[in-house]
Structure 1
Amino acid sequence: MKKNYELLIQRVKQRSNPNAIDESVLLEKSFSAELKGLYDKKVLVYIKRAMQGVEPVYTSNTLVAGDKVKTQLKNLYPKLDYKYQGSVPSNTHIRGYSDIDLVQIGGGFYAHDDRSNFITEYQKPNLSQDQKIRLCEVINGAPYLGNSNEDLKKIRLNAEEVLTKAYKEVNILKAKSIEVNLTNPKRMVDVVTASWYKSVEAVLSANDYENGIQIYNKEKNHRLNADFPFLKIHLINKKDSDVNGRLKKMIRFLKTLKADSDIEIDFSSFDISSVCYNIEKIKYYDKSYDALVHVLHEELDRIAIDSVYRDTIQSIDKSEHIFRDKPEKIAQLKLLLDELKIIREDLFKDSLVKRFLS
């Protein structure tokens, strides 16, 4: 069934430009000219807008909101590490009024891969002296004598007190984060409390972005399994740079299809990003924005019908398989594929008309 592209275009514009700023001022001239050149080809306008990033004026205000909350927390705990995670720092968000995740990370202790893994790595040849020193720091490190969960609990509770005094709308009931709603700029900041996690790879490379975190759960008073959000951001940025921005275009496009669907599709941003990241660069590094629709259709269709291939697909940081033993997730991907098929069919019809008239 052909979609109402006038309505869909308005939805995209409202998300990416919620203040309805004059687009002649807001948009880059090149992008604005490309949109005008499409005339009445509404499906192409929708695709192009859906792939476009949120205008910098909105993203900058989101970061301003995050920095305001960060300042409050740094006054309380100046020695903690503060990092942003999620779709805003990777520029794969699709809403002007995007939420942002701020992680406050306790630096007094850290967890790490099994010590035997570090010993095994240390015994390998061709390591630099600096690598050996860093490995030894973990191998010979003294156990933390404090109570790590209680330390994180204190950090979390103190953050709740400070933020509830500083802001009117603060939700402290969530187990994994504090939700802070700012009015100037109007944004929501999710504050996560965590500790560092060091993998063998991160210690060898000494790249900060390879370090993981373990998020603190207030309800259960414990830390979750290690996650590597900063590595994901780095890998997305690196691959997107290699393909001249096309990876993020595909991620934003699928997120937009999900947001604009008349049915609820339970396929997360994490899943969408992982599926897009998995596509080989050679398949799309030189493709036009409309050709990327066909690339995505081919990929999602293969995932839907080829169980062997489907089970190989991993998250961006290789920490988990996206579909293996998760039949409910396959069903949700097929719903997203149905939305994509409609767009692709309308795009194909538009192309036929274009060829006929030319």
Structure 2
Amino acid sequence: MARDINQRIQQLRTRRDGTRSMATDAYGLDATFAESATPAESWESRGQANQPYTRYALGSMQAVSDTYTRVSKETAFRVAKQLNERLGKRGVGAEFKLQGSVPLDVHIKGVSDVDLLALATELFSYDAHGAKALRGEYRNPAKRTALAVLQELRGFVEIDLQDAFPAAKVDKAGAKAVKISGGSLARDVDVVPAVWFDTAQYQQSGLASDRGTKILDKKAGTTIDNQPFRHIELIGTRCDRIGGGLRKAIRLCKNVKADSDRKIMLPSFDIASTMYHANMDALQLGIYFELSILAETQRHLDHLACDHDFARTLYVPDGSRLIFDTREKLLSLNELSRDMDELLDAVYAEHTPAHLAQHFRSDKRQVISKLAA
């Protein structure tokens, strides 16, 4: 937290603002005008004039405006509509779903990138050990492999995006997604070619949240199994049960990372997965004392940073892999934890006499958890 706190608050405002000046057609200009007219948010007047760290912490927890989120989704659906029409003319059936931070509501940018799954409907794959597979209910073998279908779909998506939005930039270098940005688009959209994957859980439950996908790793020439909707369901359900504290903790971590002077290479998915293992009872206190979310977030990150052996045992919510599966992620955990330590110390100092500043962090957490700010 070495950077000036007022600069951090300004960066937070800018990040949440959602104003985009690059729009060139009527759709983009209307969206930009509507967003830029939004008044100051409530968090900006919380805390006293001499408590900027408190204001920053509280602001970092808040959801992005519904207006900005709506424009993000509408932009993704606009891209989906163009792709659906153009792929259809090629005889390629597809359906489109959102994944990632926006549908989970843990995005921190008013102009947040949107992840759009483009799912080819020619085939789907399945877990051969699932109940339906064992009963022989998958009787029609696909004529092509998932890899072949995805490689073809990736090529079509790259061409069709450029044709549909000639003024936009289409970045084809990504291994998993084709990014389109600029031109008439009010948001950047990452289009991820995919096919459905019927997991064993989905075969048993039939729940949409249990259905997985296979996506293409273009650089490796392989497919990757994902369960994006299970991730959203698990985190969303756990958060709703405690009154919203989990999403606030995730946003807090992501904003602190965004403003950090340190090298923090933890992706959003892993940050969300990390906080999924925090103490939910402690986060639930945020219903009454919102700064208790800062206290629990600092405690949880500190615990993991001080005990890498334990951190290495934690899985992402759907159980598909370990969270901290590389040395780089553990080092990034340490750096994020240090930033959160400094934020906790600074917030505590704003609410207590100077002679109490040397209290242990466990004491500081107890004080902060009961502050009404």
Q: Same fold (TM over 0.5)?
A: yes
Cα displacement (A) at 1:241: 0.9
Cα displacement (A) at 1:275: 0.8
What residue number does 2:172 align with? 172
Task: Give the Cα separation in 2 of the matches to 1:36 and 1:300.
Answer: 26
* Deviation >6 Å, runs of 4+: none
SS in 2 for 1:187: coil
Cα displacement (A) at 1:211: 0.9
Q: Is the 8 A contact 2:308 2:330 kept in 1?
A: no
SS in 2 for 1:318: coil
What residue number does 1:159 align with? 157
Q: Mark the CA change 1:82 to 1:355 in structure 2 (over 3 Å): closer, same or farther.
A: farther
Cα displacement (A) at 1:308: 4.2
Cα displacement (A) at 1:188: 1.1
SS in 1 for 2:303: helix
Identity %: 26
How many residues in Structure 1 have an aligned counterpart in Structure 2?
A: 333
Cα displacement (A) at 1:317: 1.2
Q: Mark the CA change 1:174 to 1:268 in structure 2 (over 3 Å): closer, same or farther.
A: closer
What residue number does 2:231 align with? 232
What residue number does 2:30 align with? none
SS in 2 for 1:194: strand
Task: Give the Cα separation in 1 of the matches to 2:133 and 2:80.
Answer: 32
Superposition RMSD in Å? 2.4
Cα displacement (A) at 1:139: 5.2
Task: Give the Cα separation in 1 of the matches to 2:285 and 2:355.
Answer: 22
SS in 1 for 2:226: coil
What residue number does 1:91 align with? 105
What residue number does 2:95 align with? 81
Q: Which runs of 5+ in 2 are unaligned?
A: 20-34, 357-373
Cα displacement (A) at 1:22: 5.6
Cα displacement (A) at 1:344: 0.8
Task: Give the Cα separation in 2 of the matches to 1:343 and 1:140.
Answer: 54
Q: Is the 8 A contact 1:62 1:185 kept in 2?
A: no
**TM-score after normalising by structure 2:** 0.82
**TM-score after normalising by structure 1:** 0.85
Q: Is the 8 A contact 2:2 2:261 kept in 1?
A: no
Q: Is the 8 A contact 1:297 1:337 kept in 2?
A: yes
What residue number does 2:350 align with? 350
Task: Give the Cα separation in 2 of the matches to 1:304 and 1:138.
Answer: 48
Task: Give the Cα separation in 1 of the matches to 2:204 and 2:271.
Answer: 30
Task: Give the Cα separation in 2 of the matches to 1:217 and 1:311.
Answer: 25
AA aligned to 2:263 is E
Q: Mark the CA change 1:351 to 1:248 in structure 2 (over 3 Å): closer, same or farther.
A: same
Q: Deviations over 1:148-175 (max 9, x none)?
A: 3222222222222221111132123333
Task: Give the Cα separation in 2 of the matches to 1:138 and 1:303.
Answer: 45
Q: Quick check: 185-194 or 243-252, which moved more?
A: 185-194
Task: Give the Cα separation in 1 of the matches to 2:146 and 2:46.
Answer: 58
